[in-house]
Amino acid sequence: MPKFEVILPCTMSVVMIVDAVDKEDAVDKALEVPLICKIDGDGGKSVSVWEFEAHREVVKGNVFYGVQNEPEVTLAEYD
């Protein structure tokens, strides 16, 4: 049976506490915080995070600022 590599778009919300003078400053400081995301594969399946970014907005008007908009599937070249 062939194996496929699947890249899925994901969304999430991250909550943090920052010291700031106002709401705009709070957002700016939160966007500066380094983020780490760890995902454990289920049952030994290989899972890794390829790109992970925080955004002020994911969509504004007709512009998408995310890193992946739809699933991408390719035949796996490795086992």
Query: Average pLDDT, stretch 30-49?
Result: 76
**Residues 51-73 pLDDT 10s:** 778 888 889 999 998 888 899 99
Does residue 14 have a pLDDT over 80? yes
Is 3 within 8 Å of 78 (Cβ atoms)?
no
Residue 61 DSSP label: T
In whole angstroms, give the CA distance from residue 1 to residue 67.
Answer: 30
Q: What is the pLDDT of residue 50?
A: 73
Other Cβ atoms within 10 Å of 2 Cβ, number: 5
CA 59, distance to chain mean position in Å, is 14
Tokens of 28: 């700016």
Quick one: pLDDT at residue 42?
Answer: 65
Average pLDDT, whole number, for the chain?
Answer: 85
- Domains of the chain: which residue ranges? 1-72
Cα angle vertex 29, ends 28, 30, to 5°?
95
Q: How sure is the predictor about 29, in pLDDT bands with cuts at 50, 70 and 90?
A: very high
